[in-house]
Structure 1
Amino acid sequence: MADNNENKVLNVPHLRFPEFTDEWGKYKLSDVCSFFSGGTPSSSKKEYYDGSIPFIRSGELHMNKTELFITEEGLNNSAAKMVEIGDLLLALYGATSGDIAIGQIKGAINQAILCIRTTQNKKFIESVWKKHVEKLLQTYLQGGQGNLSADIVKNISFYFANSSEQMKLAKFISLLDERIATQNKIIKDLKKLKSAIVEMLLCNRNSELLKLGDIGYFVRGLTYANEDVTENKAATAVIRANNLNYGNHVDKGEVVYVSRTPATSQILRKGDIVICMANGSSALVGKNSYYPFNDGQSTVGAFCGIYRTSHPLAKWLMQSRRYKRLVYQSLQGGNGAIANLNGDDILNMSFPVMEKEKSKSIIFILETIEKTLAVNKCLQMSCSTQKSHLLKQMFI
């Protein structure tokens, strides 16, 4: 809100284009929008699926294609409803609850999606929703409702600018979104390039094999009990599978702290490769990340391990398709057991690599790409932070 010269509180945003002075009006969404949700054709009816109608699910709001398709018969014999490109779509429940997007697909929606149609500017509504979504989810999901519903959404009130100001705000936010999308594409393309160059290291099938056990060693993670977990951030930080992602550095955003002291060999060092060694999902076993820190305070949990080497090729080889194939071949467990690797599985892996001088050149290129990736990730984060700040300042 802002004050005028008479110190009267006005219903206007803190930051505003100078040509607009009107107060914003407060309306329930039901006053300016219409709503409907969909349904799911019976999965027991094969004739309802593999048709030509895209079937949009809540995790696909931002996509221009769908995984599933339904038939006209499936549409006509279920509560599924058709939406158009440009409709405003809101995820009501599930992992993406509260997510909103302007649809890119003409297709059918299920019961987890609410279609919102309006004569107001859709980008404006999308933006004001994103400003308030965290508070809305805290109120209705964590507040005991369990999920959003059409009735809840209809009764939510927002402040609306006049149509001209809505349009200008929408264009401005769209420019920010385009900048973020461009940055995301740059990052995606750099990752693809890096992956392709990693495979070049392994293109010499007639070369000698480089065995991981000959250039490094393996350290198993720290075992701890629930009572060892502490809020003390000066304690030992434990890296787990959720901190790992192929092709990225270890993410220390969400770590557990424990009061146990690891063995000297278990303390992570800069250059270590942290590997998920066991998990209920076999798809996660083997994923690894490079540890870029030298804090002397961190270790890994018992379901992870450390591969320690000073060889410059190792971190790249463990991002290759061959590495993933070797992990798949080595997996133990199954029949409900936790899928797991052991240290010897890692140490026995071998890779045909290029001769030393060519490998050096490729490593230099990969390191350059990785630095460029880091810069572009920072730019992407900066753009997203800027947008978040502007949403708070330019909308009520």
Structure 2
Amino acid sequence: MKNIPNLRFSGFKYEWKEEKLGNIVDKFQYGMNSSSKKFDNINKYIRITDINENTNKYISSNPVSPSGLLEDKYLVKENDILFARTGASTGKTYIYNKEDGKLYFAGFLIRANVIKSYNSKFVFFQTLTEKYNRWVKVVSMRSGQPGINAEEYASYYVNIPSLKEQEKIASFFTLINKKIEKQSEKIELLKDYKKGMMKRIFSQKIRFKGYLSWKEGKLKDILNEKLYKINKPLNPYWRLGIRSHGKGTFHEYVADPSKINMDKLYEVKTDMLIVNITFAWEHAIAITNVKDEGKLVSHRFPTYVFKNNARDTFYKYYILTPKFKYYLVNASPGGAGRNRVLNKKQFLEIPIPIPSIKEQEKIASFLSLIDKKIEKDEEKLELLNQYKKGLLQQMFV
């Protein structure tokens, strides 16, 4: 079989040559073993965690600087590709962008400087293919945590066409990346807009016209605890969990109920407020949806239904505010971490606003429209990522 891709730009016909990564790289180098410090406004420090898992770009929102002596040999420069060498992110890559500024790389990263007779972006895009991912999974296997050293990265085989074809492919995928970045930025702007609007709405800095002043109440004024107790299942079932940081519900499949040491289980209904009493202080609270219907929870996940003076569609936004999280922390006495447990009585005493039903519905409808816009834009982003993924499979050998 000829060493050519399934999909190719016209005008190119020669086979691609197979080369070890070590033969097209000037040298491999390990990063500096320094701790980070507050950003000094000049020198940035890139660590494994500073490389975005989805875009492979440097995360510039909260930069730090390296401490200690700064040596130029640790500066990332043009044609440099960084490889993560240890941990769960082993194999993750980043290619230097001048817009990222003066950047030093950390010790858990390996720098490969691509020889100028090769296109570094073309080489970088090969690290985003399924072929590369499969290689990483095999080579990184260790008795402890995953890892790949410089010698192993040097042994990886890449397929190389003419320099002109490299440049053509690299330019094409760079354009796709720009579209993905713009779509990602659009989503982040929408999320920031939603966050800002929620802050102003719940602080009543902005109001819809024609509604009365909000009443002040407590959670016990709008909630009733409702427990749908069932017998412990003998057959496999799905149980419901609550993610921390206000990230909603998730489901776990229980294949063998006999291994679960729980005598009391309760069935979940749609539009219930459920809180994880162990991690309430981490904002583990949510309002259930249709997909959660019929799932089971233990006594550590008290379930509540809303009274007639409250709409779950309004309070699903309010419970995600920083102010509400603050109250959850205060209602969870105890030490640090897992020793903090939500006090149910204190929970129901948490102060809340109670607008009129019509205003609750108006606010919920407004915020829901923003959510729908975000969801549609996230679907577009996913399509772009799938399009890129498919082309990577077709245009590389």
Same fold per TM (> 0.5)?
yes
Superposed CA offset, 1:84-113 (max 9, x none): 266211111123211111133422212211
How far off is 1:190 after superposition? 1.9
User: What pairs with 1:244-393 in structure 2 (closer than 5 Å)?
Assistant: 246=246, 249-252=248-251, 256-257=254-255, 259=257, 266-279=266-279, 285-294=282-291, 296-300=293-297, 303-309=300-306, 311=311, 312-334=313-335, 337-393=338-394
Amino acid at match of 1:158: V
User: How many residues were matched structurally?
Assistant: 369
Superposed CA offset, 1:346-367 (max 9, x none): 3222223545544433221111
Structure-2 change in CA distance of 1:170 and 1:376 (3 Å):
same
**RMSD over aligned Cα atoms:** 3.5
How far off is 1:321 after superposition? 1.9
Superposed CA offset, 1:20-72 (max 9, x none): 211110000011012212121378xxxx986552222111132253643135x
Structure 2, unmatched stretches of 5+, are 52-56, 206-212
The 8 Å contact of residues 245 and 283 in structure 2, kept in 1 or not, is answered as no
Amino acid at match of 1:269: K
Structure-2 change in CA distance of 1:289 and 1:392 (3 Å):
farther
Structure-2 change in CA distance of 1:321 and 1:135 (3 Å):
same
The 8 Å contact of residues 277 and 286 in structure 1, kept in 2 or not, is answered as no
The answer to whether 1:74 aligns with 2:69 is yes
Structure-2 change in CA distance of 1:352 and 1:256 (3 Å):
same
Structure-2 change in CA distance of 1:372 and 1:306 (3 Å):
farther
The 8 Å contact of residues 219 and 343 in structure 1, kept in 2 or not, is answered as no
Superposed CA offset, 1:320-340 (max 9, x none): 121111112222221565322
- Equivalent residue for 2:50, pick from 60, 74, 92: 60
The 8 Å contact of residues 237 and 298 in structure 1, kept in 2 or not, is answered as yes
What residue in structure 2 maps to residue 175 of structure 1? 175
How far off is 1:314 after superposition? 1.5
- The alignment partner of 1:17 has SS state of coil
Structure-2 change in CA distance of 1:82 and 1:271 (3 Å):
same
Structure-2 change in CA distance of 1:297 and 1:355 (3 Å):
closer
- Bigger shift: residues 254-263 or 117-126: 254-263
Return the TM-score normalized by structure 1: 0.80
Structure-2 change in CA distance of 1:288 and 1:258 (3 Å):
farther
* Structure 1 Cα separation of the partners of residues 132 and 343 of structure 2: 44
User: What pairs with 1:226-245 in structure 2 (closer than 5 Å)?
Assistant: 235-242=236-243
- The alignment partner of 1:278 has SS state of coil
Structure-2 change in CA distance of 1:391 and 1:217 (3 Å):
farther
* Structure 2 Cα separation of the partners of residues 368 and 336 of structure 1: 36
User: What pairs with 1:135-214 in structure 2 (closer than 5 Å)?
Assistant: 135-142=134-141, 144=143, 146-204=146-204, 207-214=214-221
Amino acid at match of 2:111: C
The 8 Å contact of residues 227 and 267 in structure 2, kept in 1 or not, is answered as no
The answer to whether 1:83 aligns with 2:84 is no
What residue in structure 1 maps to residue 7 of structure 2? 15
Structure-2 change in CA distance of 1:273 and 1:168 (3 Å):
farther
Return the TM-score normalized by structure 2: 0.80
The 8 Å contact of residues 18 and 159 in structure 2, kept in 1 or not, is answered as yes
Structure 1, unmatched stretches of 5+, are 1-8
- The alignment partner of 1:328 has SS state of helix
The 8 Å contact of residues 333 and 339 in structure 1, kept in 2 or not, is answered as yes
- The alignment partner of 1:363 has SS state of helix
Structure-2 change in CA distance of 1:381 and 1:277 (3 Å):
farther
Identity %, equivalent residues: 19
